Structure 1
Amino acid sequence: MIRFGVIGTNWITEKFIQAATEVEGFTLSAVYSRTDEQAKRFAAKFSVEATFTDLKSFVESDEIDAVYIASPNSFHAEQAILCMEHGKHVLCEKPMASNSKEVNDMIYTAKQNNVLLMEALKTTLLPNFKTIQENINRIGKIRRYVASYCQYSSRYDAYKEGKILNAFNPAFSNGSLMDIGVYCVYPLVVLFGKPDTVKANGIVLESGVDGEGSMTLKYSEKDAVISYSKITNSSLPSEIQGEKGNIIIDKIHTPEKVDIKFNDGSVEDITREQEKPSMYYEVKEFIDLIKNGELESQVNTYKNSLVASEIIEDARKQMGIVYPADR
């Protein structure tokens, strides 16, 4: 069994645990939170006895083999590095860190301490992303990638009333691109690597984070168009356009329906059944790697996480978004 400690006691950690309990080899052994009351309340939901409010004591615990980090983005690097320096494997929620320097520091620490570090970007490990990868050659030379993820945030209502929650607070390295735009960027990087150029535009809110934005990315023989938002909704699908047809993806963040539409008008459904919760697959990848003694995912690689971070950082700079972590 791989004994997990969790940092962060929010809804995403609950979803993680619920999915992870279906993975053979997972057990939850410890909970860290800033307050004892919150740590104990969260741990009680999952019948866990070990709780911590001191991070040093948490990482020194011999009851923990691996740590899932779901704290605000600005804490990811510091917490992950401390965990890895104490021999813990780390599954870190997306985005990996505030900027590419922090990502590089995390990768260096993982290598120095011979532990596994993986970004918990679920999309690229889902069955329907794998079917995209396996069928992409059937649509000929790829010319364009189009990804859209726009989801109105309930926290924006609070923002408009003058209450700035974490989602719209630059102190936590947050905003639309970091929160959901990454779901458009990371699959692009896994499929096609690093683009030659990035051009970005967006709406920067008074708090200093982006509410929504768009990017055009150029490769030598193709381009990519990405749009994302936390202040509007969109029902547009995403797609990959080739010279012989296009792959239509219902939701880039969690693909559940994938079709190929060929130039002759024929349509083929290449959807695969997703039998487990979406976060199950990232946990299984992580645990399988540990069991096999491997220290890097071949899908959510160090390089992919670094390139995705570099793209996001470049886009932020073009929009004038600077986090305290950047200084």
Structure 2
Amino acid sequence: MVRYGIIGTNFITEWFIEAGKTLESFQLAAVYSRTKERAETFADKYGGAEVFTTIEEMAKSPLIDAVYIASPTSLHAEQAILFMAHGKHVLCEKPMASHHKEVEQMVRAAEENGVILMEAVKSTALPNFQNLKQAVRKVAPVRRMVTSYCQYSSRYDAFKEGTVLNAFNPQFSNGALMDIGLYCLYPIVDLFGKPDKVRASGIKLSSGVDGEGTVILAYPEMEAVAMYSKITNSSLPSEIQGEKGTIVINHIQKLSSLKIQYLDGSEENVRVLQDKPDMVYEIEVFHNKIHRLPGADAVNSLDTSKLTSEVMTSARDQLKVRFPADDSRL
């Protein structure tokens, strides 16, 4: 049994708890909110849990083994390091932090305190991502990977009317790259490692964050292109193009369909049924890491999180998207 404390009382934490409740190894033990009333309402909705209104008290609490952090990205590093200093495992929502230097500090804290830290990227914890890794070998050598995730945000309507909600507020280290661009970049880095060069372009909004963009990662014998947007929609699939065929991926964030189109015109379906809520798989991976099960470290590894954060920091620098956290790293 892993006893969880929860930071954040939004729809993402509700999805997380609903997914966790399907596992016998999951227990909701504590909820944090700045207001007691909100914390109690949220805790009561899920059968009751200890309520905390200070982060420090929950971090010290013997009631929890791990914490799920779903606060604004600008708070991730400070909160995660605090909990790890008190011996708690940390499952941190993506992106792990505002800046790659913060991610490095979080990783050091995990190592120094002997606890597990994992970035909650649900797509790469899915069974179909493991199938994708096997499929890459069938089309190798790979020459190009193209990922696409463009989803118009309803919050952009408010933005155009003059209201800057959190999703487009640099104060919270947000924007299209941080929110959904990661879903395009993380699997590229997981599959192919550190690129030789990163080139980024995009549209910067008046609030200071990006609304959409393209990041090109250059490798010695291939290139990868990540296209993302919160101000337009797209129905384009993602692809991995190899000399022996092309892998077509429907929804890079869900991997709901995977097929190989070979050069001779034949096709192979390499998708398996993913019949659990997406977050269940990432929770299972996290628990496997806590229990030090063989192979668990290879999924959503800290190396992938560090490298992806480096790529995203480089892309932001090129886009001239800056966050307060860039000047006030721990």
TM-score relative to the length of structure 1: 0.98
Which deviates the most, 74-83 or 15-24?
A: 15-24
Unpaired segments ≥5 residues, structure 1: none
Q: Which residue of 2 aligns with 1:67?
A: 67
Cα displacement (A) at 1:23:
2.2
Q: CA RMSD in A?
A: 1.2
> Does residue 174 in structure 1 map to residue 174 in structure 2?
yes
The one-letter amino acid of 1:311's match is: V
Q: Counterparts of 2:53 and 2:27 in 1: how far apart (Å)?
A: 20
Uncovered stretches (5+) of structure 2, i.e. residues with no partner = none
In the alignment, what sits opposite 2:28?
A: 28
Deviations along 1:117-142, one digit per CA (max 9) or x if unpaired, are 00000111101111111121111200
- Provide the residue aligned with 1:243 in structure 2: 243
Partner of 2:111: 111
Does structure 2 conserve the Cα–Cα contact (< 8 Å) formed by 1:286 and 1:297? Answer: no
Q: Percent identity?
A: 56
**Retained in 2: the 8 A contact 1:29–1:63?**
yes
Provide Cα deviations, 1:280-318, integer angstroms capped at 9, x if missing partner.
111001112212378973221111100000000000000
CA distance in 2, matches of 1:228, 1:109: 32
The answer for the alignment partner of 1:150 in structure 2 is 150
Q: Distance in 2 between matches of 1:294 and 1:95?
A: 26
Contact preservation (8 Å) 2:250, 2:257: yes
SS at match of 2:308: helix
- Are 1:6 and 2:6 an aligned pair? yes
Off by >2 Å, runs of 4+ in structure 1:
291-297
Aligned length: 327
Q: Please, which moves more after superposition, 294-303 or 210-219?
A: 294-303
CA distance in 2, matches of 1:294, 1:21: 25
| In 2: Cα distance, 1:297 partner to 1:209 partner | 33
Asked whether the 8 Å contact 2:28–2:49 carries over to 1, the reply is no
> 1:229-308 counterparts in 2 under 5 A?
229-292=229-292, 297-308=297-308
Q: Which amino acid aligns with 1:320?
A: K
Alignment partners' CA distance in 2, 1:37 and 1:214: 43
Alignment match, 1:131: 131
1:51-109 residue CA offsets vs partner (Å, 9 max, x unmatched): 11111111111100000000000000000000000010000000000001100110010
Partners of 2:323 and 2:264 in 1: how far apart?
A: 49
Q: Deviations over 1:202-238 (max 9, x none)?
A: 1000000000000111000000111000000000000
- TM-score computed with the length of structure 2 as normaliser: 0.97
